[in-house]
Amino acid sequence: MIFNSLTFVVFFALVLALHNAPFSWRQKKINLLVASYLFYAAWNPPFVILLWISTVVDWWAAQAMVRSERQSIRRTWMILSVVVNLGMLAYFKYGEFLLENFVTLAASAGVTYRPPEWNIVLPVGISFYTFATLSYTLDVYLRRAKPAKSFLDYALFVTFFPHLVAGPIMRPTELVPQFAEPRRATLHQLYFGLALIILGLFQKVVLADGFLGPVVERVYDAREGVPTMIDAWVATLAFSGQIFCDFAGYSTTAIGVALCLGFAMPDNFRFPYAAVGFSDFWRRWHITLSSWLRDYLYIPLGGNRHGPVRTYMALMGTMLLGGLWHGAAWTFVVWGGLHGLYLSVERLLRNRFSNWKPGRASIVVLGLLTYLLINITWVFFRAKDFGVASTVLISMAGGASKPVPMIALLPMIYALVIVAGIVGTHWAMRDKTVEIAVERAPAWLVGALLGIMGVAIVAEQGKGSAFIYFQF
């Protein structure tokens, strides 16, 4: 089930009604748990079993770690949790990728091997809920958190439908305590939650799918021909807007849905295209993933505590694995590697020019340079293979021979105006939040904008395409 569908509208209306009905708090949590399973099962019912396995294994692993003081036993249960969770992720998400690379490696050694056809379906959201459940057992093992007191609360944490399939990646300490006492949205929370839902769906349905997506597809999904330099740049800039509006649109909608039920979820985006530098970008883009990678990968790899060489290795290793987390393809590894390289060079320059304090003009220039280099990485993120990526990059550099115009003038203008609006808004809101902006703006203006967005969503709604991050 996807947020941008009429099915979800009916589903959420029923969930909201049941949550505000005169049931006991325990019954309301059971209602939410059942609703979350139905939400996930609407896509492919058998894969609910994976949720059950992950939930039960991690619950018992955490309980066993608490009951035992012997480090060897605690480590055994922790390893069991990691193996089960990463094992399922590896099999369903990376099995075909590993098999294809094994066949290629065998062929390079002169061995011909034809494996059976891989027909395993990737469970939607498996990367997100795997990281969420892993953080539970790892935090208990490291004694950074206590296990949940109620199995119902923990099961609801794992399956809570707003964040289940595409984040934000929640930590147990952020959500489980909210299930302890009865929660019901205040009138202000309900209004603000509905406003976030409208904003998120507008980003997804109207901007990402309606205007930007078709422009991107004209170049990146072209079956023949080489794009002109302008077309390649416009398509790449359009994708930078599309991926933001699509993913931030999901996160904003998810936060709004949770808020309408009385629950708080962390921000996942803070105007990333106003970032000055790449460490700043990752503090603003997919915040819950970047903080997860920092806490459970970068720091355990050594972080910045063991000298510069170890730091650069930890940065590169973290970003390479972060790229692979996004998709089972070498293009995603290159995407992550570029970000690792950017972060390493940035750290090197910061250490070299530690006394330099940039002025306003320098900040803007550095911000635009950051955005430009991020767009280079988006080429590998969007391209289906290295052939497409190289074609687009060559065209962007002006080196294409016999290029063919692919994007019509009007869609090109729409895309550039929207992207300019997104980047401009990010800079205007760089040190602010949506909530503060809404509170300071006149009520009539907020109402008018939400009304326009709502009409645009209804007018544009049609195919109800899935969110891009569902594939991860």
Task: Read off the pLDDT of residues 445-461 as tens digits, 9 standing for 90 and up.
Answer: 999 999 999 999 998 86
Gap between the Cα atoms of 102 and 113, Å rounded: 9
Domain that holds residue 86: 21-183
Band (pLDDT 50/70/90 cuts) for residue 157 is very high
Residue at a domain's end among 167, 183, 199: 183
Q: Give domain status of residue 15, yes or no.
A: no
**Residue pair 366/276 in contact by the 8 Å Cβ criterion:** yes
What is the structure's pLDDT at 463? Answer: 59
pLDDT at 464 over 80: no
What is the structure's pLDDT at 326? Answer: 93
**Residue pair 396/233 in contact by the 8 Å Cβ criterion:** yes
- Give yes or no: 286 in active site: no
- Please give the model's pTM, rounded to 2 decimal places: 0.95
Place of tokens 């055994």: 76
Average pLDDT, the chain: 93
- Is the same domain home to 46 and 141? yes
Band (pLDDT 50/70/90 cuts) for residue 462 is low
Task: Read off the pLDDT of residues 98-138 as tens digits, 9 standing for 90 and up.
Answer: 898 988 888 888 888 888 887 888 898 999 999 999 999 99
- Is the same domain home to 290 and 395? yes
Tokens linked to 180: 């302890």
**Residue pair 281/275 in contact by the 8 Å Cβ criterion:** yes
Q: Give domain status of residue 362, yes or no.
A: yes
Q: Give domain status of residue 2, yes or no.
A: no
Q: Give domain status of residue 1, yes or no.
A: no
Gap between the Cα atoms of 382 and 384, Å rounded: 6
What is the structure's pLDDT at 312? Answer: 94
Task: Read off the pLDDT of residues 14-31 as tens digits, 9 standing for 90 and up.
Answer: 999 999 999 999 999 999
What is the structure's pLDDT at 466? Answer: 72
- The average pLDDT across 144-171 equals 93
- Is the same domain home to 117 and 201? no
Task: Read off the pLDDT of residues 50-91 as tens digits, 9 standing for 90 and up.
Answer: 999 999 999 999 999 999 889 999 999 999 999 999 999 999
Band (pLDDT 50/70/90 cuts) for residue 181 is very high
Name the strand (E) or helix (H) holding 393: helix 386-396
Place of tokens 């703006």: 441
Q: Identify the DSSP state of 47.
A: G
- Is the same domain home to 357 and 208? yes
Residue at a domain's end among 143, 158, 183: 183
- Is the same domain home to 212 and 94? no
Among 32, 192, 316, 378, which residue's Cα sits nearest to residue 370? 378
Phi, psi of 404 (to 5 degrees): -125, 130
- Is the same domain home to 142 and 275? no
- Is the same domain home to 65 and 134? yes
Q: In the chain, how many domains are there?
A: 2
Tokens linked to 197: 């839902």
Q: Give domain status of residue 378, yes or no.
A: yes
What is the structure's pLDDT at 307? Answer: 86
Tokens linked to 453: 């967005």
What secondary structure does DSSP assign to 123-187, as a single string?
A: PTTHHHHHHHHHHHHHHHHTTSSPPPS-HHHHHHHHH-HHHHTT-----HHHHGGGGSS-----H
pLDDT at 226 over 60: yes
- The average pLDDT across 250-279 equals 96
Task: Read off the pLDDT of residues 324-356 as tens digits, 9 standing for 90 and up.
Answer: 999 999 999 999 999 999 999 999 999 888 888
- Given the residues 163, 326, 339, 426, select the one marked as catalytic: 326
- Is the same domain home to 456 and 326? yes
Q: Give domain status of residue 5, yes or no.
A: no
- Is the same domain home to 131 and 196? no
- The average pLDDT across 28-40 equals 97
- Is the same domain home to 448 and 379? yes
**Residue pair 137/81 in contact by the 8 Å Cβ criterion:** yes
Q: Give domain status of residue 428, yes or no.
A: yes
- Is the same domain home to 173 and 198? no
Residue at a domain's end among 126, 152, 183: 183
- The average pLDDT across 389-400 equals 96
Gap between the Cα atoms of 324 and 162, Å rounded: 24
What is the structure's pLDDT at 472? Answer: 62
**Residue pair 179/209 in contact by the 8 Å Cβ criterion:** no
Gap between the Cα atoms of 254 and 237, Å rounded: 26
Q: Give domain status of residue 160, yes or no.
A: yes
- Is the same domain home to 213 and 82? no
